Amino acid sequence: MSNLHVMVVGDVMLDNYWWGNVDRISPEAPVPIVSLDRRESRLGGAANVAINCRALGATVTLASVVGDDAEGDSLIRMAEDAGIETDLIMKSFRRPTTTKVRILSRNQQMMRLDDETTDDLYTEEEHPFIDMVLRYLQRVKPQVLIFEDYNKGVLKENVIKRITDHCNEIGIITAVDPKKKNFLSYKNVTLFKPNLKEVREGLNMPLENTGLNELNAVHNKLNEVLDHKITFITLSEKGVFYNDGHTSGIIPSHIRDIADVSGAGDTVIATAAMVYALTKNVHLMAEVSNLAGGLVCEDVGVVSIKKDKLLKESELVLCK
């Protein structure tokens, strides 16, 4: 994995955690009073995908748009401290940096405060961003590009198409973690990784049964529109499904002490894209990323995968 160069393109965010204790109810309103004792900031969204790739050993470049604000400065500084290349992060005076504040007591989330816009990039931001990314791809040629879409406006349809087309021209693997708005815009990508909820919303189908036959039908329906190579669907507690047009399967999840599922999808797409780039083995890709997603759910908040822990778990489960 240390030989890979991964580029992550998409919506970045700053995840802030305010930890405290609740001892009484406010006399002003029937709400708990949280006495804060520590605060912590973590990289979220596409930045969390990038930090997962970095944690697995890859060289990582992050391309996104943040606000021209203190939160944007903080996000860039944290990414640089994590060893992520940030030269392709643009600043915009038209939008704030997406920031989420989670207030917790005894590992229980009490409230979340979001500061963000979901407006698409303006044309005068979109074209410079595309040009910057395409020039970098042409010059550096990373092995993998991951689209991380949180419907915050960076990944407009034209941005997706121009970058995907260029990656296909020069032989770069493309992987996608989609959301509803652009769900069917990721045409001709290598790896398409929605979760079950996103499939239901994106295809407007109930999909009450999630057996192999039903999920294979989903792959075929997606492929008719996207003409992509691999469908990889996370099924929450039921595991993961994969289909590359030749082989398919469902890999069940492993028993875990689940503390928090936040950011698990980021870990899965990072791991899946890297394992596939190295091995071209779809089954192995699904097995290892399934393990990675489960491992990060054992911690509270958005955390990145630990490489040594994933290796140990993979040896324990896959080498029996």
Q: Which two tokens stand for residue 158?
A: 């034209």
Question: 44-57, pLDDT tens digit by residue?
Answer: 999 999 999 999 99
Which of 149, 244, 260, 266 is the catalytic position? 266
Rounded to an integer, what distance in angstroms lies between the CA atom of residue 44 and that of residue 33? 27
- The residue type of 49 is V
Q: What is the pLDDT of residues 160-181, one digit of tens each?
A: 999 999 999 999 999 999 998 9
Position 214 pLDDT exceeds 90: yes
Q: CA 20 to CA 230: how far, in whole Å?
A: 44
| Nearest-5° Cα angle at 178, 40 to 314 | 70
Taken in order 46, 49, 50, 51, the sign of the CA dihedral is positive
Q: What is the mean pLDDT of residues 286-298?
A: 81
pLDDT tens by residue, 69-114: 999 999 999 999 999 999 999 999 999 999 999 999 987 889 999 9
How many CA atoms lie within 13 Å of 197's alpha carbon, on the beta-carbon side?
5
Q: Cα separation of 82 and 22, whole Å?
A: 33
Angstrom distance (rounded) from CA 6 to CA 263: 18
Residue 115 bears catalytic tag: no
H-only helix segments in the chain = 46-55, 70-81, 123-140, 157-170, 196-203, 212-226, 264-279, 282-296, 307-318
